[in-house]
Amino acid sequence: MGTQKFRNCTRCAKAFVATAAQRVCPSCAKAEEEQFRAVKEYLNRNPGSPLAQVAEATHVRPDVILAFLRQGRLDASHAPADARLVCAMCGAPILSGSVCANCHKRAEAELTRAAGALGHQQGHLGQAKEGPDGRGPTHKRRQS
Ligand SMILES: [Zn+2]
Ligand SMILES: [Zn+2]
């Protein structure tokens, strides 16, 4: 009963009682927090150090450091020089996430356009034309 659920820790695979937001068991969460702090501190003192050097100095696996970086938890201007993230769409250097601001904007514009086209079609069916340039009504924008 209740909302408690057993889940397997994504780091050590141990089963533990998890709330919705927990992916790792409490002891791994603590370890991860300590690793994060170690990496952050090291990079604050030695900004731009090579990934391998950071990993060796902090005893944190490079892929874990990269994950911290990707999550935007590390100061990107201190990130290891050889671990800068690049946009998955155009390859431009980025600070966090997986695509650059430009591609993000473009993807969002495309989404909006797709949603607008949908709304326009629906409006078109029941009503007369809005105008010759095909600009549809925008008051019925859907949030998702
Ligand atoms: Zn664990
Ligand atoms: Zn891009």
- Higher per-residue pLDDT: 131 or 121: 121
Q: How far is the CA of 64 from the centre of ligand 1 (A)?
A: 14
pTM of the model: 0.57
Cα 104 to Cα 21: distance, rounded to the nearest angstrom: 26
Query: Where residue 45 falls among pLDDT bands split at 50, 70, 90?
Result: very high
The C-alpha angle with vertex 46 and arms to 40 and 48, in degrees rounded to 5, equals 90
Q: How far is the CA of 27 from the centre of ligand 1 (A)?
A: 6
Q: Give percent of the chain above pLDDT 70.
A: 81
* Residue partners of 35: CB distance under 8 A and separation at least 6: 58, 59, 60, 64
Q: State yes or no: pLDDT of 143 exceeds 80.
A: no
Where is mean pLDDT largest: 39-43, 66-70, 72-76, 130-134? 39-43
Angle between helices 51-58 and 62-70 (to 10 degrees): 110
* Ligand number nearest to the C-alpha of 99: 2
* Ligand number nearest to the C-alpha of 23: 1
Cα 26 to Cα 18: distance, rounded to the nearest angstrom: 9
Which pLDDT belongs to residue 74? 87
Q: How far is the CA of 122 from the centre of ligand 1 (A)?
A: 50
Q: State yes or no: pLDDT of 139 exceeds 70.
A: no
Which pLDDT belongs to residue 51? 92
Those residues whose beta carbon sits under 5 angstroms from the ion ligand 1 are 9, 11-12, 14, 25, 28
Which pLDDT belongs to residue 81? 81
